[in-house]
Chain A
Amino acid sequence: MNDDNSGHRMSIGEDLKAYIDDELSPERATEVSAAIDQDPALREEYLFMKNLSGEIKSAATEPQVKGLDKAMDRVAKPKFNLGLPRWATYSVAGLAAVMLIGFIGNLGGPLSLDKRFRVIEGVSSGDSEGVVAAQDVAKPARPPYSAVEKSKSTPEESFSDKNLELSTGAGESPSSGGGVPDYANNPKFQRSFKSEGGQSDAPGLRYDNLPEKERSRSSQEHYLGGQARRQKAVQPQTSPSRDRKVIRTANMGIKVQNVAKAMSDAEVQIEAMGGYVENTDFNQADDGSVGTMNFQVPEKNFVAMVENLGKAGTIVRNNKTGTDVTGEIAYTDGRVISLAEEELNLIKELTRTKNSSDRLEIRSRLSNVRQEMRGLKEQNKATKDLAAMSRFVVNFEKSGQLDPAKADDWFSQTTAGAGDVLGFFGRIFGVGLIYTAFLSPIWLPIVGIIWWLKRRSKTTV
């Protein structure tokens, strides 16, 4: 008897085939041979199996071989292969997929493209959560040079009515005499005029006079990735209905090669568009120059002006607001009509009344109504004037200019920048992982099916 691999003891009869095939150990073969000699039935079975085996061998045909050349061609064809182990290939592919998911998941989010550039370029203005709130519009531009005292305004302060005060008076304009002003050579502009860049001292209407519901309609654009998206976001503002009155403001930061030239060019454009400069602020320093311009252009040229400014250099900050005052104007118009009717009634009443004391009272009321009407008309006119012009606060900064305080500390600046980039990719990866995990009910079955199909068709030994 002999033990097979499965542990079963096989009888002589079960070993007969293996004996014919010479697959038994010599000892077992001797046993089987002896059994065949002694048992005629076993011998008959042995002979049958041997004949059957021979018959099967001879029955099988020898197919004519073809296709060797094609096989040679296919094997000889060079195949692109990085030579990476399979696990490395899959790991890289998985990592790339997670990063891609994270990047897509981040589009428009806290790590959008513009945010990334702001982090890398170190021009983040503190809105680290990526929410550019209304205060950014009114916030004094971050002075990138030491000559101007750094603004300490908090978001609450920036949102104060003071900062939202909109000037309607013509501020000091260096171009008032005509021609293109030369800021670089004009000693008048060799120092900063104001500690709060971008705010006009000219008297003007106050935004806080508007009703609360109208103020709340002020829309605020977030940073969007790319010029195309920026344009798209601006687009709805470019075509309001004909009767709609919108007060528009823009607060921009632009990096340019030559600050003085950029400011001069901007002034030419402003005048060409029918606007005017309220005030300018140009500083020339050894480590670069900076400038601020406050100006107004007709509302219809708002988008064109933003586009032109964008052509001057690289936009690093672009905040825009639009406040719809149509309702306020309509309300005031309605109030004026109602007062006019009241005035008419009072006049009629005055003609009918004979009593002198009553006449005096009516005259007094008539006077009050007329006064209120005049006030409302003036207010309406001022609001319309306000909506007719768009206000810009633009900070020009020399491109590639470093913060003088940090200019010498190249090592910490570099490591900080590298840290930012690392953090950015880390967050992208993290977001990707979260998305991947949350979306696993979608992709996991698909991957599982693909894996199963691949495994099923796997043909390697």
Chain B
Amino acid sequence: MDGRIEEARRGNRDALGSLVREHYARVYRFCARRIGDDLAEDAAQETFVTMQRSIKRYQERSSFETWLLGIAHNHCRNLSRKKRLQPLSLAAWEGECPQEPTRQFIDREALKCALLKLSEEHREVVLLHEVEGLRYAEIGEILGVPEGTVKSRLHHAFQNMRRLLSE
């Protein structure tokens, strides 16, 4: 295990600071892609405050970063509910959803539109895997679902996107 995590568990603030410095950018981007830049800062800060409070309960079933992203995921979800945001609104994505569907293969706008038309569960796994680069097992840890469910959701999400993009 990372020695800093052990030190942070003992309350060493230098170790905590080092962990924040190392993982902040990743957590911030994760949040920004989900709830937008405006709220990402708050969500990221809350994530590290929660990390500080709960680090003694980190059981190493997943990587430390996955654990952190799980916390960030919950904070983002709570903030979305509180601010009544559309879940996973893709605010930080390029392009706008077109009025008319385009025939162009994987056009950016069409892609964003297709993603937004996916169910929240499907969009969630697509973003976690394709954008955040997480493995199925890590996504399962964050979402609290079995790995097979992640695999199944991803398959169906891509099937749906293929259908939506070919319409």
Of A11-19, A30-38, A109-117, A246-254, the stretch lying at the interface with chain B is A11-19
Interface positions of B from 35 to 49, Cβ below 8 Å from A: 37, 40-41, 44-49
A65 x B16 contact (CB < 8 A): no
Known interface pairs A65-B28, A459-B75, A460-B71; A76-B13 also in contact (CB < 8 Å): yes
Scan A326-344; emit 1 where CB is below 8 A from any B CB, else 0. Answer: 0000000000000000000
What range describes how many residues of B lie at the interface?
A: 35 or more
Question: Which residue of B54, B92, B94, B158 contacts A52 across the interface (Cβ within 8 Å)?
Answer: B158
A53 x B20 contact (CB < 8 A): no
Q: Verify if A51 is at the interface (C-beta below 8 Å from B).
A: yes
Chain A-chain B contacts (Cβ-Cβ < 8 Å), number: 147
A461 x B70 contact (CB < 8 A): yes
Scan A72-98; emit 1 where CB is below 8 A from any B CB, else 0. Answer: 101110010000000000000000000
Question: Which residue of A18, A48, A59, A74 contacts B45 across the interface (Cβ within 8 Å)?
Answer: A74
Q: Verify if B162 is at the interface (C-beta below 8 Å from A).
A: yes
A5 x B148 contact (CB < 8 A): yes
B129 x A63 contact (CB < 8 A): no
Interface positions of B from 18 to 43, Cβ below 8 Å from A: 20-21, 24-25, 28-29, 32-33, 37, 40-41
A460 x B50 contact (CB < 8 A): yes
Q: Verify if A23 is at the interface (C-beta below 8 Å from B).
A: yes
A52 and B106 alpha carbons, distance in the complex (Å): 7
Most buried by A among B71, B111, B148: B148
Tell me whether chain B's interface is mostly helix, strand or loop, or mixed: helix
CB distance from A70 to the nearest CB of B (A): 6
Question: Which residue of A17, A62, A65, A72 contacts B158 across the interface (Cβ within 8 Å)?
Answer: A17
B94 x A72 contact (CB < 8 A): no
Known interface pairs A21-B129, A461-B70; A61-B94 also in contact (CB < 8 Å): yes
Shortest Cβ distance from B51 into A: residue:
A75
A75 x B17 contact (CB < 8 A): yes
Known interface pairs A65-B29, A461-B74; A55-B111 also in contact (CB < 8 Å): yes
Q: Verify if A352 is at the interface (C-beta below 8 Å from B).
A: no
Q: Verify if B4 is at the interface (C-beta below 8 Å from A).
A: no
Q: Verify if A442 is at the interface (C-beta below 8 Å from B).
A: no
Residues of chain B contacted by A186 (CB below 8 angstroms): none
A62 and B29 alpha carbons, distance in the complex (Å): 7
A131 and B161 alpha carbons, distance in the complex (Å): 82
Most buried by B among A64, A68, A458: A68
A192 and B142 alpha carbons, distance in the complex (Å): 87
A75 x B155 contact (CB < 8 A): no
Residues of chain B contacted by A6 (CB below 8 angstroms): 146, 148-149, 152
Q: Verify if A348 is at the interface (C-beta below 8 Å from B).
A: no
CB distance from B166 to the nearest CB of A (A): 9
Scan A227-256; emit 1 where CB is below 8 A from any B CB, else 0. Answer: 000000000000000000000000000000
Known interface pairs A18-B155, A21-B136, A57-B130; A67-B71 also in contact (CB < 8 Å): no
Interface positions of B from 87 to 138, Cβ below 8 Å from A: 92-95, 105-106, 108, 111-112, 115, 126-127, 129-131, 135-136
Residues of chain B contacted by A62 (CB below 8 angstroms): 29
A48 x B92 contact (CB < 8 A): no
CB distance from A199 to the nearest CB of B (A): 71
Interface residues of A (CB under 8 A from B): 4-6, 8, 10, 14-18, 21, 23, 45, 48-49, 51-53, 55-57, 59-68, 70-72, 74-76, 79, 457-461
7 contacts between A and B (CB under 8 A): A23-B151, A57-B131, A59-B93, A71-B48, A75-B52, A459-B46, A461-B142
5 A-B pairs besides A63-B32, A70-B41 with CB distance below 8 A are A6-B152, A17-B154, A66-B37, A68-B20, A75-B13
Interface residues of B (CB under 8 A from A): 13, 16-17, 20-21, 24-25, 28-29, 32-33, 37, 40-41, 44-54, 57, 67, 70-71, 74-75, 78, 92-95, 105-106, 108, 111-112, 115, 126-127, 129-131, 135-136, 141-142, 146-149, 151-152, 154-155, 158, 161-162, 165
Q: Which 8 A-B pairs have the closest CB atoms?
A: A5-B148, A4-B148, A63-B32, A67-B41, A461-B70, A459-B74, A56-B130, A5-B146
